[in-house]
Structure 1
Amino acid sequence: MEINIEKVKPSSPTPHHLRIYNISLLDQMLPCIYVPLVLYFCGADNNDDRIQHLKESLSQTLATFYPFAGVIKDALSADCSDQGLPFYVAKVKSQMKDFLQNPNFQFINKFFPREYNIEKQPGPGDSIMLIQLNCFDCGGIAMSIMFAHSIADMASVSTFLRCWAANARGLGFSQASPLLCAAQSSLPQNPSLPAKLIPFLNYLKYSSSGKFVMRRYVFDASALSFLKAQLSSSVASRVNVVTTLVWKCFMEAVAEETSGEDGNPFLMTQAVNLRKRAAPPFPEDSFGSMVWAQKTVCSSPQEKGLTDLVWEVKRGISNIDGEFVRRLGGDGLYEYLEKLRNEMPQQANWLSISSWVNMGLNEVHFGWGKPVWLSGYFTQHSESETVVMGNVVTLLDSRDGGIEALAIFDQKYVAGFEKNDLIRNYARVNPCVI
């Protein structure tokens, strides 16, 4: 691929008093990794004009979202001295429609800057965000974004992308920026917080090495409606239902592969957006990583049926409320985190699920139509069997109102997972996108 790079800087200098950006307690408790996203847009007549327009509107948007034009300073802060956001443009010698007919997950790796991948942990001097435009011969564009999770979450990036798109269409957006300090004021960072009390670092002990593969499962809106009716779970969200179904099928696949002999419980964590759950709620456009990994434990796949498990998952999320957020910011933080640590099993079969559903990513419109598809990044390199974290599932909106599950599974569990009747009856495996 032919690749050009330049750095896009904010259209106006970041004020001196804002040039050191201190992360919040919530940011501090999340992994320092790059999070990947790709938005796929259909072709247009002149990509050169589109690219130039995207750069100009990006520069305008970075004047407000200035941390994205900065670099990591240290574990607790970013240097926002307008270093510039690395902006790559790559030429792809193929047709987007051919790629979308049967998405090749290995090929998706090429859509991200070669100097960075999801296995690289951002450190001092590394960019907080990188963008690469992958321009197909047909005029289609696959826009890849990588961002440091210790600075922002996908909700923040979605707000950024929608503001950028509004600027590209000449609509503009509010230039006020209280969104950049909401979490820091309510949940300030704690430099003395011991690493042993950070929940995510404790979850890492459940990670394992192996050969991992990416799989894509599409749950159509009609299938989800039918499944909810079967479960008598009309009050459960489609995210609750898909989360539970995927977890149950994963548990059964692991139990089959191990012949149920390892005796380890099953742990599922799901990322919960705290913005609406605080009391009072944080503004929806609050900047940062305002998420919490809620855990649910099950002793075996036979312990609960799917209906009971849906309610168990829903109940766990309901416990993340205003009182929970208040405790995180209170004097009893250490005691509370120690309690959570003590509740964790010594060993477990771990599945991590994140949802990007209802975040507006499908509504990003730069002036030539909304994305026809969204994807992430495939972590497995052909020469390596190691990954940052395996057995991970990301949920995204599908075009018909259903949900797509992009899963990175240990290969030995895939056959058992896909022969499960729940998957066979309610999901399609990597269907054509268009």
Structure 2
Amino acid sequence: MEMEIMSREFIKPSTPTPPRLRNFPISFIDHITFRYYVPLLFFYNDTKLCDQQSKISHLKSSLSRTLSMYYPFAGRFKDQRSIECNDKGVPFLVANITRTKLSTILENPNEKLLNPLFPDDLQWKMMEWNESILIFQINCFSCGGIVISVCACHKIIDTTTAFNFMNDWSKLNREQELESKSTLASLLPYNLLCAGDTIFSLGNLPNFPEVDFVIEKTIVRKRFVFEASKLKLLKNLVNFNSHVVENPTRVEVVTALIYKCMVSTLGLNFKTTSLQMAVNLRTRMNPPLSNKCVGNLVWILFVINPELHDLEFRIRQGLREFCEVYLKKLGGKEKDLSFICECLKQLTTTVSKSDNNQSLIAFASWCKFPMYEADFGWGKPIWVTTSACPARNAIILMDTRDGDGIEVIVSMEENDMVRFECNVELLQYGSLNPSIV
């Protein structure tokens, strides 16, 4: 792929952040979250409705206004407890790609073709404290296609926050020609920015180490797609075999299948292999939090040594117990600081120690998130994806574009992946890296 970086600049908020908002405290969940850049790619078909220079100009202008809404993201971390909202801005790169068509990538979406689309090879790299929280690269293809890539620091931006940002940016980009600048400025809700600190305040809690994981060069990424018809077969199979789980969800049946195939591939024992799941807290709090809450509103649920036959049940049971017991003490009316302290201590110890633990399989589901809503005026994206997390035995689940299927990105040791991708039961339901077009 021949690529030329045409421009590189910093985009700053269109309206300066007021002095009263210059210090942005983060939550105790953000406090322990790692500083790696999480990468996202948004693919758009032929966008020759207007010239490239005009599109880029509109993107920069609308991004500037979006940063006024999400003002902490244009700042820099002061320390592990807060962000200085100093309006330094975010890097914005524009790249031209001449000899490779967008369709070539979509026909065979592999790491060799995807990785150059990210800015400065920052995907899953550790952010230094004085570096930008967000970085963008606009990849312009001669065929008219565009790929918008973003690397977002996970310490303050979870998946929900990232997609909310992209959707708000795209909305401003669509509407900016119809609205005056003064009208747009009046819509910026400085005092309404809802942050995780309002519920999960770090307050006087002591400092804890950040959760970390080992970046391994021998990790490889594979993408599997489960179409709606195959998911229906999986659900029917679970309904037939299970006496405790009725109407399993898409995520439950795919998680169970991937877990089963990984345990088999790795030669592990179901009785001694744990499952780790990221849980979105917004909808599970009582009352529910706003979906617009920024930060990491996520907690880690451990399903300890589930038996294969009751995995779906154990996942549901674990989520129910988590909501009924943990959430109340973490941020509800029964908030318990000593309990929070012990949880943070255990989580930072358990996850860090699990880096080289083959008997832990980690899942994160992005299903039902608004991944495909970012319409910048060229239509909704034809594909949204990420680069594989370079951690051992990590799995990300995402909706397909139609919302009925599931795409799964699996990260494993190269030698293990050779066996995993040939698993007969896995391939009975999932297709290995099918074309997007």
Same fold (TM over 0.5): yes
Mapped pair 1:427 → 2:436: no
Instruction: Check if 1:86 corresponds to 2:91.
Output: yes
Q: Using the alignment, how far apart are the partners of 1:193 and 1:422 within structure 2?
A: 48
The answer to whether the 8 A contact 2:76-2:131 is kept is: yes
Alpha-carbon separation, structure 1, partners of 2:197 and 2:26? 7
Match of 1:63 among 65, 68, 80: 68
Counterpart among 368, 373, 382 of residue 383 in structure 2:
373
Q: Secondary structure at the match of 2:372?
A: helix
Displacement of 1:81: 1.1
Contact 2:94 2:140 in 1 (8 A): yes
Q: CA deviation at 1:419?
A: 2.9
Q: Does 1:109 align with 2:111?
A: no
State the distance in 2 between where 1:343 and 1:132 align: 35
SS of the counterpart of 2:267? helix
CA RMSD of aligned residues (A): 2.6
User: Do the aligned residues in 1 keep the contact of 2:194 with 2:292 (CA within 8 Å)?
Assistant: no
The 1:11–1:343 alpha-carbon spacing in structure 2 relative to 1, beyond 3 Å, is: closer
Q: Which stretch of structure 1 is more off in the superposition, 342-351 or 141-150?
A: 342-351
Secondary structure of the residue aligned to 1:40 is strand
Could you tell me which residue of structure 1 aligns to residue 242 of structure 2? none
2:40 to 37, 40, 44: 37
Alpha-carbon shift at residue 327 of structure 1 (Å)? 1.4
The separation in 2 between residues aligned to 1:11 and 1:338, in whole angstroms, is 40
Query: Counterpart amino acid of 2:124?
Result: I
- SS of equivalent to 2:304: strand
Asked if the contact 1:69/1:83 (under 8 Å) is kept, the reply is yes
Give, in whole Å, the separation in 2 of the partners of 1:23 and 1:145. 22
Change (3 A) 1:314 1:179: farther
Who is 2:124 aligned against?
118
Give distance in 2, aligned partners of 1:178 and 1:279. 23
Is 2:330 the counterpart of 1:328?
A: yes
- Alignment deviations for residues 198-253 of structure 1 (CA, whole Å, 9 cap, x no partner): 7x45xx4xx68461111000000111112111111553221122122111111111
- Find the aligned partners of 1:28 and 1:179 in 2 and give their Cα distance: 22
Report which stretch shifted further, 176-185 or 362-371. Answer: 176-185
**Which segment is superposed worse, 125-134 or 64-73?**
64-73
User: CA offsets per residue over residues 342-361 of structure 1, 9 Å max, x none?
Assistant: 99998552222111111111
1:213 partner amino acid: V
Q: Which residue of 2 aligns with 1:175?
A: 188
How many angstroms apart in 2 are the aligned matches of 1:309 and 1:275? 24
The residue aligned with 1:235 is: 247
Q: 1:68, 1:134 → 2: CA distance?
A: 22
Correspondent of 1:220 among 205, 212, 227: 227
Q: Identify if the C-alpha distance between structure 1 residues 340 and 20 changes in structure 2 by more than 3 Å, giving closer, same or farther.
A: closer
- Structure 2 spans left out of the alignment, 5+ residues: 240-244
Gaps of 5+ in 1: 380-386
Q: How far apart, in 1, do the equivalents of 2:280 and 2:388 lie?
A: 24
In the alignment, structure 1 residue 355 sits paired with structure 2 residue 365: yes
Q: Residues of 1 paired with 2:191 and 2:200: CA distance?
A: 15
TM-score, structure 2 normalization: 0.86
Q: What is the alpha-carbon distance in structure 1 between the residues aligned to residue 258 and residue 373 of structure 2? A: 26
Q: Does 1:282 align with 2:289?
A: yes
Match of 1:398 in 2: 400
- Partner-residue secondary structure (3-state), 1:327: helix
Please give the TM-score of this superposition, normalised by the length of structure 1: 0.87
The residue that corresponds to 1:382 in the other structure is none
1:326 alignment partner AA: K
Task: Report how far residue 12 of structure 1 moved.
Answer: 0.8
Greater mean alpha carbon deviation, residues 224-233 or residues 271-280: 224-233
- Partner Cα separation in structure 2 for residue 179 and residue 294 of structure 1: 30
User: Quick check: 2:400–2:407 contact (8 Å CA) kept in 1?
Assistant: yes
Task: State how far apart, in whole Å, the 2-side matches of 1:343 and 1:98 are.
Answer: 42
Which residue identity lines up with residue 250 of structure 1 in the other structure? Answer: M
How many residues get paired? 409
For residue 169 of structure 1, give the secondary structure of its aligned residue in structure 2: helix
> Distance in 2 between the 1:179 and 1:220 partners?
40
Cα separation, 1, equivalents of 2:108 and 2:121: 27
The reply to whether residue 304 of structure 1 matches residue 317 of structure 2 is: no
SS class of match (2:397):
strand
Q: In 2, Cα distance between the equivalents of 1:47 and 1:339? A: 51
The equivalent position to 1:127 in structure 2, one of 114, 132, 138, is: 132
Deviations, residues 35-79 of structure 1 (Å, cap 9, x unaligned): 111111112212222111111111111111112212222222222
Q: Distance in 2 between matches of 1:322 and 1:175?
A: 36
The alignment partner of 1:320 has SS state of: helix
Does the 8 A contact of 1:270 with 1:354 survive in 2?
yes
2:151 equivalent to 1:146: yes
Cα separation, partners in 2 of 1:56 and 1:210, compared to 1, 3 Å: closer
Instruction: Provide the rounded CA distance (Å) in 2 between the counterparts of 1:127 and 1:221.
Output: 39
CA contact (8 A) 1:152 1:288 kept: yes
| Identity percentage of aligned residues | 32
Counterpart for residue 319 of structure 1:
321
For 1:180, the aligned partner's letter is L
In structure 2, give the amino acid aligned to 1:377.
S
Per the TM alignment, residue 29 of structure 1 is displaced from its structure 2 partner at its CA by: 2.4
Distance across 2 between alignment mates of 1:234 and 1:98: 42
Assess, with a 3 A threshold, how the Cα gap between structure 1 residues 76 and 336 changes in structure 2: closer, same or farther: closer
Give 1:267 deviation, angstroms: 2.2
Counterparts of 1:309 and 1:191 in 2: how far apart (Å)?
39
Q: Which moved more, 1:339-348 or 1:415-424?
A: 339-348
Compute the displacement of 1:106 (Å).
2.2
